[in-house]
Structure 1
């Protein structure tokens, strides 16, 4: 390992050791003391005992010497094992839970605040899945490697000291093999790490397939069609790809493992060293029988400690690469600028966009030169075909993305100057894909662990959810979904829609963004939803986003999007008189209503 790589690896492992020490110093002290004492007791029980007993026989020492030796050894093991049992029973699980909770909390906390644009990148998913899947285990693996390495060093010192005191040549032979085994182990770990990285995108697909088959969200559609065959095929192809990668790495690992285990361990150590000791004892007669046997056993333990040390050093290098991923993930900085100003009691009375441009990928603009103004209490509609940029603009207004160029003003203030929490608290959003959390009714509506009971009751009443709510025995504490609670409640599509509306009402915001929340509703339900929104939001700004134009007649302003640009703007009447793209789209949809294929009479 190059010096720079070694220092970087050492730094990452030091980071993990200090991390765990800070959380549970008791765990670290226990592991260090237990492992070092275990090495010492093991030496006196499995190695030195042969020299002591056989030499006592050979040189006719008193029997009580052996009795005292064995009694001291027994008492030492008894105390060590009893202490280990006490810790394992009362503290280990608690300490591990504390460490695991802290590690995962940091990952979840970072995931909750990083910019939404990361979720549009495949590389983010690979790194994020890798962190979520492995980081806790890698933290413990790194820590255990450090403890094992310290134990190995203790074993090397103890057994090496004994070997040197009796015979020096064995140490020379052992150290010749150390460098070779270290280099071989390092090569193996690099291959294993690359295999894990190559398997990550494949595992992401396989995990998606698994979710499709075990989540209830997909259960109905899977049974209504033959889409399951696609996922069977995905599972088959990804499994084959995984096997190919594993086979490829196995071919590279086989010769390395053969040299490492057979040549270095069996021939270099077992055969050559034992022959050497036998020659010194049987031919030269310069060693006692007890010393010979103890040296052979010391050699096994010493080489085992050396092997453990080299393995842990290379394993530390492998773990370090995962720790890098973890640290890189936590170091992700939000690109969305967070200002210092707050809106305080100031209501949002005007939103203005000036020449706003945005793209998810360079040279692929999604929004181009968008300029518009929305005034106090106005109801506006963003309309256009799917993919025109409507939802992207709503996410920008919610400050989920940072624009590439242009300017957005709130009450003539640049949004970059306003604190994100203050800004977002003034917006409510009803999304097309509304998700229920496996949590209580009140937590699903308030999106918080604390709730204002009066606001909650008002939101439930105004949203039309009250009739269903009154059937809940546990009221606002009723758990939604049965994922964690068999007493939980599953809601229908219409009930979920009302709950989403209650969420928007509870927030008591200045601006409500409705991103096609009625796309799954029938025309009558859509009409009632819009009427409810208008009723509760008469003194708020409302932004409707839709490609269904039955909603747009109630808007004060309509902005028609095409290919990321606003190509028409005005009221419904004005746009119909212009006889442009909006009028064409409206007439096509109205014709469907007249034909009885969709919509309602209000569309005309």
Structure 2
């Protein structure tokens, strides 16, 4: 009973949501749907009654009458089929637009869901499962279209039911038998498909990863120079083999089920036609009447098959689509602001304070950060240093609101950042991470990203970082495509130029807090120092957080925070920390010796 209720919930929830989308974005689809539901039974009746009239006139030696009915049959068939083809075409156009709405919703959730989800393999499998459900369900084209076909088939069946019941009522018995047996077969087939789908999310995510690695030019140098082709293809092949093995099991089992079902349907069809033939011979049924019975039997058999085929499609389609629907309704993948979310002031002096902040990654016991207490004052230039793995980038992600502390609080102007609308809070920040991304889009769009371009402001930002002349020299200037993903004449910046464009993006955003998490890794120490000096001069009024492995860049900062073993080990300016002869001085001297 629970299983039936659950299945009913999935069907109703999925179809209800699809109809909501149809009502909001394409009501014409409902009109096309209703017209198809009307015309398909009309066509069924047409194929039953008109042939009977043709035969009736021929056996009555009324040739002109037979020609009239034959002409009417052909013209009617042509008109109805043409209209149905047109409605089908228009329906497909609408279905394509609905598909875009679903995929846009899915991508929107993925881009706005809590960032920590992207580092949780269990939740990533759930996202892959939702995408699989969306891909395999057929969306509106499967579920809603199945409803339309079932209704049309039921009406067609009822339209010939009275004819069959009047002359050959025993034909109903094979139909009832098929209904019972098909229900059992379909239940087994759906259960088998669900078993297969339960193992796919992890396999598909692995396969997508290897396909991306082997086809993306980003990995091209490493693959070629280190001969990684065989390794990657071997790992991809193992995943493909595992998937193929599961697919073979499912294909064999479903093929057996379908074969038995097909044999049963064929036997029932033969028995139906045999019964009609014997009945006609024993009761001396006129040829015209016999023709109508045969046509009615054909319509009945076709309608029953359509009902079960489409019902099976609907069950399977809604089962898949429900995974997507449930994902879009899951609060753990939503970063909703809430009704009482606050909005921080866009301008003015802002203070960020960390009070007793601790952090552990989900489903782990290891504390990355412990009891961090830090006040970041307006206009301060703060450097955060430490060995690899000390939590520097994690601390920045906490400040950016990408993670939430396991314990403690992060405050903006005395208010916990959890109380702010996350989108509004992030409008105060311009981070440039070490693994920043440039997109296959015009240079201008890569810098502006959100909003209308302020040309004067854009040019000023480009000049600050020495990129103005370079961008203006491009074929289409700032509107020139960045990267060659879609344009052979796209601008492919060097590593240093890419990092400068990332800084231009942060500068153009014109926000109170600038965060630089080792974005200059591709520059030599002298170039990095020069660039950081330019950043300080160009953003004198901003609060800037620097993270860099190169300790020399700390000299021009107002304050240096040293992380060690997940805690703030030291704090001060360069000269003070060098006198302490602690963690900072050891790091600085070791690096100076290496660069020396």
One of 292, 304, 309 as aligned partner of 1:311: 309
Query: Is the CA contact 1:336–1:399 (under 8 Å) kept in the aligned structure 2?
Result: no
Q: How does 1:589-600 map to 2 (within 5 A)?
A: 589-594=591-596
CA contact (8 A) 1:138 1:322 kept: no
Distance 1:587 1:396 in 2: 30
Deviates more, 1:363-372 or 1:506-515: 363-372
Asked if 2 retains the 8 angstrom alpha-carbon contact of 1:459 and 1:502, the reply is: yes
Q: Is the CA contact 2:51–2:292 (under 8 Å) kept in the aligned structure 1?
A: yes
Q: Which residue number corresponds to residue 215 of structure 1?
A: 216
- Match in the other structure for 1:417: 419
Cα distance in 2 for partners of 1:243, 1:207 equals: 15
Q: How many residues align structurally?
A: 588
Q: Which one is further off, 319-328 or 7-16?
A: 7-16
Q: CA–CA distance in 2 between the matches of 1:249 and 1:87?
A: 36
Q: Is the 8 A contact 2:154 2:303 kept in 1?
A: yes
Ranges in structure 1 where 5+ consecutive residues have no aligned partner: 595-604
Report the Cα distance in structure 2 between the residues aligned to 1:377 and 1:235, rounded to whole angstroms.
50
Please tell me whether residue 273 in structure 1 is matched to residue 275 in structure 2: no
Aligned to 1:110: 109
The 3 A distance-change label for structure 1 pair 184 and 94 is closer
What's the CA shift for 1:253?
1.9
CA gap 1:290/1:244 in 2 versus in 1, 3 angstroms: same
Cα drift, residue 7 of structure 1: 4.7
Q: C-alpha separation between the residues in 1 aligned to 2:578 and 2:111?
A: 44
TM-score scaled by length of structure 1: 0.90
| Cα 1:245–1:211 shift into 2, 3 Å | same
- Measure, in 1, the Cα distance between the counterparts of 2:291 and 2:375: 91
Q: 1:27 aligns with which of 15, 26, 29?
A: 29
Give the one of 280, 285, 288 matched to 2:286. Answer: 288
The farther-off stretch of 310-319 and 271-280 is 271-280
* Counterpart selection for 1:519 from 516, 521, 525: 521
1:182-193 mapped onto 2 (5 Å cutoff):
182-193=183-194
Alignment gaps of 5+ in structure 2: none
Q: CA deviation at 1:471?
A: 0.8
Judging changes above 3 Å, is the alpha-carbon distance between structure 1 residues 372 and 344 closer, same or farther for their aligned structure 2 residues?
A: closer
Write the mapping of 1:61-460 to structure 2, written as runs, cut at 5 A.
Answer: 62-84=62-84, 91=90, 94-132=93-131, 135=134, 137-262=138-263, 264-267=264-267, 269-282=268-281, 284-285=282-283, 287-333=285-331, 334-335=334-335, 340-344=341-345, 346-362=347-363, 363-460=365-462
Q: Distance in 1 between matches of 2:302 and 2:93?
A: 32
Q: Secondary structure at the match of 2:367?
A: strand
> Equivalents in 1 of 2:61, 2:17: separation in Å?
52
Q: Is the 1:336–1:402 Cα contact (8 Å) retained in structure 2?
A: no
Decide whether the 8 Å contact of 1:335 with 1:402 is kept in 2.
Answer: no
In the TM superposition, what is the alpha-carbon distance from 1:462 to its structure 2 partner?
A: 0.7
Write the distance in 2 (CA, Å) between the matches of 1:159 and 1:570: 91
The structure-2 alpha-carbon separation of the partners of 1:7 and 1:335, relative to structure 1 and needing over 3 Å to count, comes to: closer
Q: Is the 8 A contact 2:349 2:378 kept in 1?
A: yes
- Between stretches 585-594 and 34-43, larger displacement belongs to 34-43
Which residue does 2:580 correspond to in 1?
Answer: 578
The correspondence for 1:504, drawn from 497, 500, 506, is 506
Q: Distance in 1 between matches of 2:583 and 2:238?
A: 45
TM-score by length of 2: 0.91
1:559-570 to structure 2, matched below 5 A, reads 559-570=561-572
Aligned to 2:548: 546
Question: Against the structure 1 CA distance between its residues 74 and 21, is the aligned structure 2 distance closer, same or farther, given a 3 Å change threshold?
Answer: farther
Question: For residues 207 and 161 of structure 1, do their structure 2 counterparts lie closer, same or farther at Cα, with a shift above 3 Å needed?
Answer: farther
* Separation in 2, partners of 1:571, 1:51: 101
In the alignment, is the contact (CA less than 8 A) between 1:274 and 1:296 conserved in 2? yes
- String of CA shifts for 1:266-324, please: whole Å, max 9, x gaps: 22x13433333333233x32533444444344334322321221222232222222222
CA gap of 1:514–1:4, structure 2 versus 1, over 3 A, is closer
Post-superposition offset of 1:164: 1.7
Shift of the alpha carbon at 1:138? Answer: 2.7
Equivalent residue of 2:269, what SS? Answer: helix
Please give the alpha-carbon distance, in whole angstroms, between the structure 2 residues aligned to 1:97 and 1:173.
Answer: 39
Deviation at 1:214, TM superposition (A): 2.6
C-alpha contact (below 8 Å) 1:41/1:73 kept by paired residues: no
Offset at residue 525 of structure 1 (A): 1.9
Using a 3 Å threshold, how does the CA distance of structure 1 residues 529 and 159 change in structure 2: closer, same or farther? farther
CA shift in 2, pair 1:543/1:405, >3 Å = same
Query: Does the alignment pair 1:2 with 2:7?
Result: no
Alpha-carbon distance, 1:158 to partner: 2.2
Q: Is the 8 A contact 2:40 2:156 kept in 1?
A: no
Whether contact under 8 Å (2:354, 2:409) holds in the other structure is yes
Q: Is the 8 A contact 2:496 2:520 kept in 1?
A: no
1:452-481 CA-to-partner distances (Å, cap 9, x unmatched) read 112111111112211311212322211212
Shift of 1:442: 1.5
> Following TM superposition, by how much is the alpha carbon of 1:354 offset from its aligned partner in structure 2, in angstroms?
0.4
Distance 1:394 1:240 in 2: 41
CA distance in 1, matches of 2:501, 2:401: 24
Partner secondary structure for residue 403 of structure 1: coil
C-alpha displacement of 1:92: 5.2
CA distance in 1, matches of 2:346, 2:26: 45
Partner of 1:533: 535
Using the TM superposition, give the Cα deviation of residue 499 of structure 1 relative to its aligned residue in structure 2, in angstroms.
0.5
Cα distance in 2 for partners of 1:565, 1:462 equals: 36
Hey, what's the Cα distance between the residues in 2 that align with 1:190 and 1:574? 70
Residue 218 and residue 555 in structure 1: after superposition, are their counterparts in 2 closer, same or farther (change >3 A)? same
Distance 1:144 1:219 in 2: 45
8 Å contact 2:447–2:508 — kept in the other structure?
yes
